Amino acid sequence: MAERIISSTTHDAYMNVTDHIADGWVASVRIVPKGASKGGERIELDTVFEREDLAWESVETLARAELNNLK
């Protein structure tokens, strides 16, 4: 499982994309306050993506939107 992180001034977004056996790619993100452990609620996208790059693009868009809402 790969993980990428993007940050705002107050929060971090931990993004994951995993291969869902034979179905495609599943993406999720966790938004946590800066400095906190990456526990917390995971937001999983409802879509199973055919390509990994599309999953990353979608989860990054969601993460950036969530971070912008927290400003």
**Measured between alpha carbons, how far is 44 from 18 in angstroms, rounded to an integer?**
11
Give the tens place of pLDDT for each residue, 22-63. Answer: 789 999 999 999 988 878 778 888 889 999 999 999 999 999
What pTM, to 2 d.p., does this model score? 0.85
69 pairs with which residues across the strands? none
Residues 18, 42: contact at Cβ < 8 Å?
no
User: Containing H/E element for 2?
Assistant: strand 2-7
H or E stretch at 60: helix 52-69
